[in-house]
Amino acid sequence: MVAEDLEMSLAASLAAMASLDAAGLEDVRLQWLGKAGILTGRLKALGAMTPEARKAEGAALNDCKERLNQALSARRAALDEEALAARLERERIDVTAPARPEPVGAIHPISRTLEEITAIFGAMGFTVKEGPDIEDDWHAFGALNIPGHHPARAMMDTFYLNASLGNRPALLRPHTSSVQVRTMLTQAPPIRIIVPGRTYRSDHDATHSPMFHQTEGLVIGRDITLGHLKGCLIDFLRMFFGNPALPVRFRASYFPFTEPSMEVDIGWNRKTGEIGKGGDWLEILGSGMVHPNVLANCGIDPREFQGFAFGVGIERITMLKHGIADLRLFYESDVRWLRHYGAAPLSPAMLHEGV
Ligand code: PHE
């Protein structure tokens, strides 16, 4: 063969490739196929040959070129594979290593109770209303038929601010009942709302905090009766405490903004704290039929409409449900306490499971 003289050095080059890296391979390529490469020179020389000689020499040179290129790309592929294998080895992940513990948060019991209350009343067709924490004394007291001499107006209960809203004294709302007023003033009956929110009173001990939470309820319609009030609150309490047989008692009481008014008690055991049995009664919330004066103050004709209202302390029912002894712990931001009493963040309150 015409290019036989190349065979020896080509075979040497091909054999040497097995130990070359990418740069070494490039040197070999240039040595043969670069501008001044061995094959390049021989290919150029073809032009000056006789047709027969050119045919034979050309075929042989092309054969050399092909073998060289094949060997080069085979070696490059092998190098790539080696590099990948090395990298996989280097970046290997030990899937058997124990997981690093990630900090998982918990839903605060107060938030959880608010979620549960919203789920229960939501299923009964109530919507959620909110109102301002800073109120004037008409929305907090006057419109609610609480006369100027009523003890709830005294400084010891209510935080008055050194300011006024419009020309009325400003204060931190001592109950969520002010949002009843705001709703009736802006929304025509029928009304069916709950009002979860913060409330403030000048009190501080194991069962009272100057800031606490309430949920108000208000239902107004043409034919809303005390029977509706009782049915609604009995259902709520039984659902909330997860006891379909929970004893519930309505006890005549007094609130300036309801007539008649009733405290609602649930059955419990005074000695063990167990809820639902034991023959003792525990006061749990205030309720009543909305006073005609309140309806009239809020622009609703009491001869045409009537309804009921209630107010429940969130800390109180949360403490009872979970056996929390001291209300102050709710606000101490102790993670150990939260981990114990908090709710799983990814399991929202849903009625079909019981709240
Ligand atoms: N606002 C009353 C309180 O804070 C609770 C209540 C609300 C009572 C509505 C009757 C009707 O104690």
- For 206-259, write each residue's pLDDT tens digit: 888 999 999 999 999 999 999 999 999 999 999 999 999 999 999 999 999 999
Q: What is the pLDDT of residue 154?
A: 75
CA distances from 232 to 195, 302, 308 (A): 16, 22, 10
Stated as kind and residue range, the H or E segment containing 245 is: none
**Which of 38, 58, 90 is a domain's end point?**
90
Q: What is the pLDDT of residue 159?
A: 93
84 Cβ partners below 8 Å, 6+ apart?
Answer: none
Quick one: 198 and 69 in the same domain? Answer: no
Residue 335 CB neighbours (<10 A): 11
**Residues 199, 114: Cα–Cα separation, whole Å:** 14
350 belongs to a structural domain = no
Q: What is the pLDDT of residue 69?
A: 94
pTM above 0.85, yes or no: no
**Which of 90, 117, 139 is a domain's end point?**
90
Q: Measured in angstroms, how far is the CA atom of residue 270 from the centroid of ligand 1?
A: 24
Quick one: 159 and 252 in the same domain? Answer: yes
Quick one: 85 and 123 in the same domain? Answer: no
Q: What is the pLDDT of residue 347?
A: 82
Quick one: 152 and 300 in the same domain? Answer: yes
Domain count, the chain: 2
Q: Measured in angstroms, how far is the CA atom of residue 314 from the centroid of ligand 1?
A: 13
Q: Measured in angstroms, how far is the CA atom of residue 311 from the centroid of ligand 1?
A: 4
102 belongs to a structural domain = no
Q: Measured in angstroms, how far is the CA atom of residue 287 from the centroid of ligand 1?
A: 6
Q: What is the pLDDT of residue 351?
A: 81
18: containing domain: 4-90
Quick one: 55 and 191 in the same domain? Answer: no
288 belongs to a structural domain = yes
Q: Measured in angstroms, how far is the CA atom of residue 255 from the centroid of ligand 1?
A: 7
Quick one: 58 and 137 in the same domain? Answer: no
Ranges under pLDDT 70 in the chain? 1-3, 155-156, 353
Q: What is the pLDDT of residue 1?
A: 45
Kindly report the protein residue whose alpha carbon is nearest to atom 2 of ligand 1.
311
Quick one: 113 and 86 in the same domain? Answer: no
Q: Measured in angstroms, how far is the CA atom of residue 322 from the centroid of ligand 1?
A: 23
Ligand 1, closest atom to CA 286? 8
Q: Measured in angstroms, how far is the CA atom of residue 216 from the centroid of ligand 1?
A: 7
Stated as kind and residue range, the H or E segment containing 247 is: none
Question: How many residues are listed for the chain in this entry?
Answer: 355
What is the three-class DSSP state of 155?
Answer: coil
Ligand 1, closest atom to CA 218? 9
Look up residue 352 and give its DSSP letter.
Answer: G
Quick one: 65 and 33 in the same domain? Answer: yes
95 belongs to a structural domain = no
351 belongs to a structural domain = no
Kindly report the protein residue whose alpha carbon is nearest to atom 9 of ligand 1.
310
Residue 155 CB neighbours (<10 A): 9
Kindly report the protein residue whose alpha carbon is nearest to atom 4 of ligand 1.
175
57 belongs to a structural domain = yes
Instruction: For a ligand 1 pocket test, name from 208, 255, 285 the mutation site with the most ligand atoms within 8 angstroms of its C-beta.
Output: 255
Q: Measured in angstroms, how far is the CA atom of residue 200 from the centroid of ligand 1?
A: 14
283-323 pLDDT tens trace = 999 999 999 999 999 999 999 999 999 999 999 999 999 99
Kindly report the protein residue whose alpha carbon is nearest to atom 8 of ligand 1.
286
Q: Measured in angstroms, how far is the CA atom of residue 274 from the centroid of ligand 1?
A: 25
Q: What is the pLDDT of residue 213?
A: 97
Quick one: 206 and 285 in the same domain? Answer: yes
Instruction: For a ligand 1 pocket test, name from 257, 264, 284, 285 the mutation site with the most ligand atoms within 8 angstroms of its C-beta.
Output: 257
CATH assignment at residue 132: 3.30.930.10
The residues lining ligand 1, judged by C-beta closer than 6 Å to any ligand atom, are 175, 177, 216, 255, 258, 286-288, 309-311
Q: Measured in angstroms, how far is the CA atom of residue 151 from the centroid of ligand 1?
A: 14
238 belongs to a structural domain = yes
Q: What is the pLDDT of residue 229?
A: 98
* Amino acid identity at 177: S
Quick one: 184 and 300 in the same domain? Answer: yes
Quick one: 176 and 140 in the same domain? Answer: yes
Ligand 1, closest atom to CA 214? 4
Ligand 1, closest atom to CA 180? 9
Residue 141 CB neighbours (<10 A): 27
Please report which residue ranges of the chain form alpha helices under DSSP H.
4-16, 22-33, 38-45, 51-90, 109-123, 137-140, 178-186, 226-240, 292-297, 314-322, 335-341
103 belongs to a structural domain = no
Quick one: 129 and 30 in the same domain? Answer: no
